[in-house]
Amino acid sequence: MWPELLDVLREPHTEARLELESGETDGERILRGQLVSRLTGQAYPIIDGVPRFVPSEGYTGSFGMQWNLFSATQLDSTTRTDHSQRRFDAEVGWPAGDLGDGWTLEGGCGAGRFVEVVAGHGGRIVALDYSRAIDTIAREFHEDRNVHPVQADVLLPPIASRSIDRVYSIGVLQHTEQPYLAMMSLLRLCRSGGRFAFVAYARRWYTPLYAKYLIRPLTKRLPATVLLAAIRATMPVLFPLSEWLFERPGVGRIARFVLPVANYPNKQGFDRRQRYEEAVLDTFDMLAPAYDQPLRPRVVRSLLEKSAVTDLNMVSDVPIVVRGTVL
């Protein structure tokens, strides 16, 4: 933990200021210690350079496992592509030149594919995640003073209200216990004039009929290690089968509906090995989470319209891609 993070860190629930006690450093970075609330006296540990505001990773355990196992699978610096950069540009829509000013926060950072994008443009970013994926961030970016990992719940972010210049969350809200509340919890962190962007699964009348939702009552209850082993065992058959089916005109769309496999045969820049690894990762990501609750576009729009925002832009309804500015 870098000391400047204290400027925006606050105690969850109370938003009281936190003071560092008994910190151990490797120079300037704080490796171990505790943060103590000035109001309640509650102590929050700093472990391996990460302030921790949740006692365990709770319902996010599968994400912690997957991002520690697949920590580099989607990083542009590892894949030698610009997939994460292009997705960030398309969905978040902020000019790279703006990222170097002030604070940015990502709600649900996973292994840090978009953290790398922001930090790569000189942006100072709070990388917030409930799961032990945060340990991947701490390892991969431990020398980058722009990256500030925090283990916390997006429903109770330990960040001062209206203190962040840019807040975004990509593909995370639907995996929380209360997706709409998570969105609004992140929105309140934006300062006046700050910008936000949220990307989430969208719910339509036919959404529960997708194959993944039909089998998730079973797969989400399996031990994560068992599910991953099953995916690895069946992928030698499912990968070529899905690749062939997904590319067939007309048939491809139906196949994607009935076959619970994440495969992207037309992904440019990835060789077959990379696409295979991502298929294993994304299929696990699809079937393992405790929660997968797509949001309704009209509800998202209504909540944001009733909030103090301007320039509201519903870029897409399916998936939900929405962004704007806080008044």
CA distance 258 to 226: 23
Binning pLDDT at 50, 70 and 90, where does residue 22 land?
Answer: confident
* Length in residues, the chain: 327
Asked if the model's pLDDT at residue 23 lies above 80, the reply is no
> What is the predicted pLDDT for the residue at 25?
86
Task: Give the N- to C-terminal CA distance of the chain in Å, as an integer.
Answer: 31
Q: Taking the alpha carbons of 57, 16, 157, 52 in that order, is the dihedral positive or negative? A: negative
Q: What is the pLDDT of residue 266?
A: 87
Which pLDDT does position 117 carry in this prediction?
A: 96
> Which superfamily, per CATH, for 3-202+295-326?
Vaccinia Virus protein VP39 (3.40.50.150)
pLDDT tens-digit series, residues 54-82: 998 999 999 999 999 999 999 999 999 99
Contact 208, 327 (CB under 8 A): no
Task: Give me the residue spans of the domains in the chain.
Answer: 3-202+295-326, 207-287
Residue 290 pLDDT greater than 90, yes or no: yes
- The pTM for the full model equals 0.95
Q: Are the CB atoms for 168 and 145 separated by under 8 Å?
A: no
pLDDT of residue 250: 86
The DSSP 8-state label assigned to residue 231 in this structure reads H
Parallel, antiparallel or unpaired: strands 30-37 and 43-47: antiparallel
Task: Please state, in angstroms and rounded to a whole number, the distance separating the CA atoms of residues 276 and 116.
Answer: 23
* Other residues' Cβ atoms within 10 Å of the Cβ of residue 255: 19
